[in-house]
Amino acid sequence: MIGKIMASTSIVTLAALIALLATLASCGRVARSDEPTYTSYRLPTAFKPEHYDLQVLTHLGDDRGYAFSGRVLIKMTCLEDANNVTLHSKNLTLGEKDIKLVQISDAGSEPVELKQIQYIKDNDYVVFYSAKSLQKGKRYEISIPFEGSLGTGLLGYYRSSYFDQQRKTKVWLSVTQFEPTYAREAFPCFDEPEMKATFDISLGHHKQYVALSNMPVNRSEPMASAHKDWVMDYFDRTVPMSTYLVAYSVNDFEYREAMIKMKGDVVFKIWARRDAIDQVDYAREVGPRVTRYYEEYFAEKFPLPKIDMIAIPDFSAGAMENWGLITYRETALLYHPNISTVSNKHRVASVIAHELAHQWFGNLVTMRWWTDLWLNEGFATYVASLGVEHLHPEWHSYEDESVSNSLNVFKLDALTTSHPVSVEIGHPNQISQIFDAISYDKGSTVIRMMHLFLGEDTFRDGVRLYLKRHKYANAEQNDLWAALTEKAHENGALPDDVNVKTVMESWTLQTGYPVVKVTRNYESNSAELTQVRFLSNREQATNASDYCWWVPLTYTTAESPNFVETNAKDWMMCGSNDLRKARSRQLNSEQFNTISLINRAALIDDAMDLAWSQEQEYGIAFAMINYLRQETEYLPWKSALGNLGVLNRLLKRTPIYEVFRSYIQFIIEPIYDRLDIFNVEHYVSARLDSSKQRSMIASWACVFDVSDCTERSVGLFANWMAVKDPDTTNPIPQDIRGVVYCTAIRNGKEAEWNFLWARYQQSNVGSEKVLLIQSLTCSRETWLLQRFLHWSLNSTSGVRKQDTTILFANVAKNDIGFHLAKSFFLENTEQIYAYLTPDTSRLSRYLRPLAEHMASEKELQELKDLIESKRTRLPNRDTVPSKNRTLARHKPLQLVQLVPGGNLPGQHLHVAGEP
């Protein structure tokens, strides 16, 4: 699933706050005194499901309102003697009088009397007690009628809506979102990933709609007279799969079949609103091509007869990999060539590639338990980068995504509050909180490292072996390590005394990563290497030396620089005094571009991190960054500006901010002039990295008043306002529209704001609507921002529920909006909680942007007080994600050598608190 947190790369270490949050984790509901206490939140192991017959009737605004009802029949095998059947069920009303339990065999069926039904809400359990013992080795089936509300909470089985421009009416649809633990809110089931079974699904609905599920429709029949004009669609039986991958939808969408035919008669369709069906063409191309690439790469055919991909107007995640029916936010599936940016196109390709990778990694082979969620998400993230590179080698996206994933995770993983890639799960409500940058980005990054030191052949062969051994079943990371080790030893990719498990568990079971220190001995022409865990706050590094990682070592020389070879020439091994010596010669070249792009980006990030942790002076880091005045490539700039953005937030409210502004202008001006950003000729067939670079440089240039950036942006926006039909004619280049819009709104008044809001209301492209929301939050008019914040909680305002947190986060990022956003959250916590219910975990997305912009002990205390006062309304764990650097160290940050000859004596930044 894409639902991450992908955007934030900055970090906060709030030790006191995290300690306070930890107390929330122990808060839970207590079972009634007459209910037994289960010692585990895992289901009992007495029964294993074999098959589900699931029938669901969906009411979309008829005389029953918005509701669903149905019956599930579960066939199961008894693995040990038991006196009850325990299932998951949440927020459902069960027809208790009609529940039936029978023992089945070849000779027939025998009813089993139920003596008691018990609900254990803290575990989401319903327990069916039998009057006689249920025997090991016997087969049983239980039939349960159920009904529930078709709410708007974006979880379980819920409803969404949109306004049909052609018919001038509001149209409803229903759709599922079951990962990780929400199938239990749609039907009683064994809602754990290891409990795989086959499914026969049938969906009843009014004939004006179409029904979709994991498999193709087998037949459709009119329903009885009690449901006039209704039909029941019966779908083919699924392959064995986990409940979180079950999916169905009732809608009136249209579809377009893929342009490229799949081998093996796999039918590929893209579904969307009728008004947006013209935006599916790119997905029609990408889907089959990347699926075919995976079939060849994994040496495993896609096992279903069809793939449907559907764009949902209201969707909490980015996308969800349901087997055969993949659901997406509109922004992640739809692309309009005349409106969407190249970056939007890249996101669509990446998300589609990610979800299709899951069809093998996650669906075909599934983790046993959510501890190994990273096997799903990390692998899908990494393999998706291979898929996109295969589709569009001209984008150079593999390098971009590799750097992005590394930068995203380095900041987070340098905190004591980070967690391992493979993390233990206690209460199920913790599962959704590990869909984070560690599972996705660090998971992807360590897999990339493994791919590089094993080599292409070994990596590919090992993955193929793993999938072949465990298809339609469950696995854990040890199973993957075993397959890769077998192939690594066969191919000679690893020494016989080194195995993948030993190497990789040092990266997946430990928190953090090492800083490797090299001590040169010029007399012996050698280097001594030592490692210690890197922490952004050295004062917390009390046990950093207890950590040890297996590090593959490569090196290059000045005489023959080679930054491409990645096979390990040596290893830093744990258990050998954490010390290795490697022959090397001094790397010394006057030509910066002899160092590869990824390495230049990494060197900048390392320099800034080491300065942040006070292991070197900031002067050294800035002296390195000065070279950017010569740099023309995107990735080093991305690394540098990502780090400088953290300092920008810290310094903007200090007396020395003008010095920092001057430095940014100093390094930005050459690249701004060189790129000639407002020349429309540059945007014809632009490379992806070039497009991203222009947008990024333009954004910084306009914020820091470099050259004519603000003037040109305001002028372009004025030209747009003057055209006769602004909804069809836009003179602003697509890839810098966000910069131009934001700059014009920041420097404009109500007229500019109202003009852009009108464009938002008329827009039919999801990615454009998000861009317009972000741009509208750039205003410096407090009353406009205040009104916009209140609109985010008004379902009739035009702002979709899925976008409320995007709106809030961008207001909080605004210098003027930060205090407005903080006050808004303080005053409206209860309303926000009610509006987001049942997905109240999204409350953390309100605290994250506030934490990002804290810069004083006073603000830290305000946030502590807020959490204490709202503890019953905040998620139980990691309410403020530690992904944001906000507070400087206890020691002052010295800004030296910001500009040539610009030592700044006495100019220190004193900010209390922790980073």
| Six token digits for residue 13 | 């270490």
- Residue 51 in marked binding region: no
> Cα(296)–Cα(262) distance, rounded to whole angstroms?
12
Could you tell me the end-to-end alpha-carbon distance of the chain, in angstroms, rounded to an integer? 31
Q: From CA 155, how far away is CA 837, in angstroms rounded?
A: 10
Closest C-alpha among 437, 319, 436, 421 to residue 374: 421
CB neighbours of residue 835 within 10 Å: 18
Q: Distances from the Cα of 121 to the Cαs of 85, 191, 343, 582, 756, in angstroms?
A: 16, 15, 45, 59, 47
Residue 110, judged by CB atoms within 10 A of its CB (0-12, 13-18, 19+), counts as exposed
Burial of residue 251 (number of CB atoms within 10 Å: 0-12, 13-18, 19+)? buried
Q: How far apart are CA 853 and CA 814, in angstroms?
A: 10
Q: How far apart are CA 550 and CA 510, in angstroms?
A: 11
In 455-503, DSSP assigns E strands to 473-475
- Measured between alpha carbons, how far is 159 from 555 in angstroms, rounded to an integer? 56
Question: CA 620, 621, 624, 629 torsion: positive or negative?
Answer: negative
> Alpha-carbon distance 139 to 148, whole Å?
29
Q: Tokens 């001209």 sit at which residue?
A: 394
Query: Tokens standing for 101?
Result: 């339990």
| Bridge partners for 219 per DSSP | 234
- Phi-psi region for residue 518, left (φ > 0), alpha (ψ -120 to 50) or beta? beta
The residue written with tokens 């709106």 in the block is 807
Cα–Cα dist 695/700, whole Å: 9
- Catalytic center residues: 355
Q: Could you tell me if 62 and 206 are in contact, meaning their C-beta atoms sit under 8 angstroms apart?
A: yes
Secondary structure percentages of the chain, helix, strand, coil, to 5: 45, 20, 35
The response to whether 358 counts as a known ligand-binding position is yes
Is 176 in contact with 246 (CB distance < 8 Å)? yes
Beta strand 125-134 with 114-120 is: antiparallel
Distances in whole angstroms, Cα of residue 20 to Cα of each of 109, 117, 188, 470? 56, 39, 36, 42
Distance, CA of 819 to CA of 862 (rounded, Å): 12
Cα angle 52, 54, 55 (rounded to 5 degrees) comes to 160
- Cα–Cα nearest to 736, from 785, 672, 781, 788: 672
Nearest to 491 by CA among 527, 452, 457, 444: 457
Q: Is 192 annotated as a binding residue?
A: no
CA atoms of 237 and 218, how far apart (whole Å): 9
Cβ–Cβ contacts within 10 Å for residue 221, how many? 11
Taking each helix axis from N to C terminus, what angle separates 688-703 and 709-722, rounded to the nearest 10 degrees? 100
**367 phi/psi in degrees, rounded to 5:** -65, 150
Please answer whether residues 115 and 130 qualify as being in contact, where contact means their C-beta atoms are separated by less than 8 angstroms: yes
Structure tokens at 529: 């290497």
CA distance 358 to 365: 9
Annotated binding site: 354, 358, 377
Annotated binding site for Zn(2+): 354, 358, 377
